[in-house]
A and B are shown apart, each in its own frame.
Chain A
Amino acid sequence: MHATTLPRTALRGRSRSAHDALAKGLGWFSIGLGTLELVAARSLADGLGLHGRDGLVRAYGVREVVTGIAILASHDPEPWIWARVMGDALDLATLAVGAGRAEGSERTNVAVALAAVAGVTALDILCAQGLDAEKGGPKTAVADYRDRSGFPKGVAAARGVARDFAVPRDMRVPDAMRGDVFARRRRPVPAGA
């Protein structure tokens, strides 16, 4: 029997951690942004000085949606938040390329987008670090229950000891699916029987 002292758990309950709530919000944000990138790829690309690169914007949209679903679905969202941070870096690099090509109002758009992505990146990093800090210590050593058979007289003595238990009729396997019932039924009747 283990001691009654409480171990630290590796993962905390989601509803009571602000970082878990933030992760959930970032997950939905990711899905929303990704969907926007998928459905309005051309407009976004043109507006950010990335003319003709709508395929790239759609690929980023897929990345955002997948990451968002993974954050919401995962019991431990931290690795997926770090994946978002890497995606943010990619977004910033892409926007920097766009900044070099942008003209007129596109420059303003790129500047706003860069600021927004930088802000979200800071949130992502804050969230991932918070989730990491909330994790408990290393998992305790693996328990070994090899002495817990549950059979006071041993496994060998227990095998088949309830074989005479009468399985209720409503839980029996249908005759047609049981052993050699059909073969026995068709066996020729011995002469004189």
Chain B
Amino acid sequence: MKALVWHGTADIRCDSVPDPRIEDPRDAIIKVTSCAICGSDLHLYDHFMPGMESGDIMGHETMGEVVDVGAGAKSALKVGDRVVIPFTIICGECDQCRRGNFSVCERSNRNKALGDKAFGHTTAGLFGYTHLTGGYAGGQAEYLRVPFADATHIKVPKGIPDEKLLFLSDIFPTGWQAAVQCDIQPDDTVAIWGCGPVGQMAIRSAVLLGAKRVIAIDRLPERLSMARAGGAETLNFAEDNIVERLNDMTDGKGPEKCIDAVGLEAHATGSIDSMYDRAKQAMMMETDRPHVLREMIYVCRPAGVLSVPGVYGGLVDKVPFGAMMNKGLTLRTGQTHVNRWTDDLLKRIEEGQIDPSFVITHKVGLDQGPEMYKTFRDKQDGCIKVFISP
């Protein structure tokens, strides 16, 4: 089959690789009907996340049709079922899965020792996202093996186009969880850093959940225009002093809720501290650029909430934890517990409350994937979300 394969920094190729097969009774194989490039894939593309190996298949936003089912998954799936595959692989049985903390499933990371070493305790296995999270083949391919398939799937009805459903795999529930864990109140102002795909979904989620104001921050005009379309006021960090402007817009008090939809690759020349971080990254003295985290801690209203769906990979430097502690801020983080939200979100799509396909800006075939990684990374051609039909 064809698949997008990681070979090194900024080197992804569309290669021929062996078809996946059932390896465990709980596996299923799906024929991929659509997949997407995620912003967090760019951390792998730029090689800021450790644990990638040449030959790894990329991708964790995937949906398709079941074509083979292991004996242990037949109670939940059958050939022909239409499924969206959550990016987190879940066993559905461990203590964390039973609590709904799916992204920290205790059993799905087959490289548990690596996960333990990197993070203290393992997190869930992820598709196409380093050997720290299991080294599982990703879904930017014609076929995908789904481990723990009886639990790791979202059944979706026929008749709704892939474009509307695919993002249940990651960015829609990720934006939703980012907003939900802010516990938005009707008089809240929610500030959202980053108007990439997750930021766009967080904006829509905050609007649906009834925030009084949503303020979105980015520098790219096309992303800001999409944010405004979704009901946000916008700030351009290339033109505005974000801390000053957010304080001005909130009578000097700061936003109650802040969402970091940027993560470890804050714009490298966007601020003095990001340039400092980039220089340290280049010297291998720091892994992440936490500019947004610093800014959120500084500007958030005391007793407010910081929600961090943006991906961080390792070590951050110069985080003003004194301000964090003295202001009594609540910090909520984590990869998304996808299956915790998807029943509700699917219902909202079916009812027409939201149509997540608004975020797609480019549609291509698998063979054009490598070029689209560059286009997406370099934010060229108005690229916000790449939808791939293998």
Contact = CB atoms under 8 A, between A and B. Distances in A.
Interface of A: 1-2, 4, 6-7, 9-16, 27, 69-70, 72-75, 136, 139-140, 142-153, 155, 158-163, 165, 167-168, 171-174, 177-179
B243 interface: no
Interface string B257-296: 0000000000011000001001101110000000000000
Given A149-B229, A151-B355, A158-B231, 14 more contacts: A6-B375, A7-B381, A11-B378, A12-B374, A13-B9, A73-B279, A142-B221, A145-B226, A150-B358, A151-B231, A155-B207, A160-B210, A171-B180, A171-B332
Contact of B362 (A4, A9, A177): A4
Contacts of B348: 162
A34 B281 CA distance: 19
Contact of A69 (B8, B183, B283, B358): B283
A136 B380 CA distance: 11
A34 to B, nearest CB: 13
Nearest to A165: B209
Interface residues of B, number: 66
Interface stretch (B80-88, B131-139, B363-371): B363-371
Contacts of B356: 150
Contacts of A153: 352-353
16 contacts: A1-B361, A2-B362, A4-B368, A13-B9, A15-B10, A144-B222, A145-B361, A145-B382, A147-B229, A148-B230, A150-B229, A150-B355, A150-B356, A152-B353, A161-B208, A163-B210
B11 interface: yes
Contact of A159 (B228, B231, B279): B231
A173 B362 contact: no
Contacts of B9: 13-15
Nearest to A160: B210
A158 B364 CA distance: 31
A167 B303 contact: no
Interface in B94-115: 100
Nearest to A142: B221
Contacts of A11: 374, 378
B268 A73 contact: yes
Nearest to A148: B358
User: Dominant SS at the A interface?
Assistant: loop
A120 to B, nearest CB: 20
Given A4-B368, A165-B344, A155 B230 contact: yes
Interface in B302-318: 303-305
B363 to A, nearest CB: 6
- Shortest beta-carbon contacts, A-B, top 6: A143-B382, A13-B10, A160-B210, A150-B358, A145-B226, A163-B210
Contacts of A161: 208, 353
Contact of B180 (A136, A158, A167, A177): A167
Contacts of B303: 177
Given A73-B275, A145-B226, A150-B355, A1 B363 contact: yes
A16 B10 contact: yes
Interface in B108-151: none
Contacts of B340: 168
A168 B361 CA distance: 33
Given A69-B279, A74-B268, A142-B222, A155 B231 contact: yes
Contact of B222 (A10, A14, A72, A145): A145
Given A150-B358, A155-B230, A69 B282 contact: yes
Nearest to A171: B181
Nearest to A173: B183
A159 B210 contact: yes
A70 B375 CA distance: 23
Nearest to B99: A170
Nearest to B7: A15
A143 B360 CA distance: 13
Contact of B382 (A4, A15, A140): A140
Given A143-B381, A162-B209, A152 B282 contact: no
B200 interface: yes
A37 B166 CA distance: 56
Nearest to B183: A173
A75 B268 contact: yes
Most buried by B among A73, A75, A144: A73
B322 interface: no
A178 B330 CA distance: 12
A132 to B, nearest CB: 16
A74 B267 CA distance: 11
Given A150-B356, A155-B231, A167-B180, A9 B283 contact: no
A1 B279 contact: no
Contacts of A74: 268-269, 278
Nearest to B185: A179
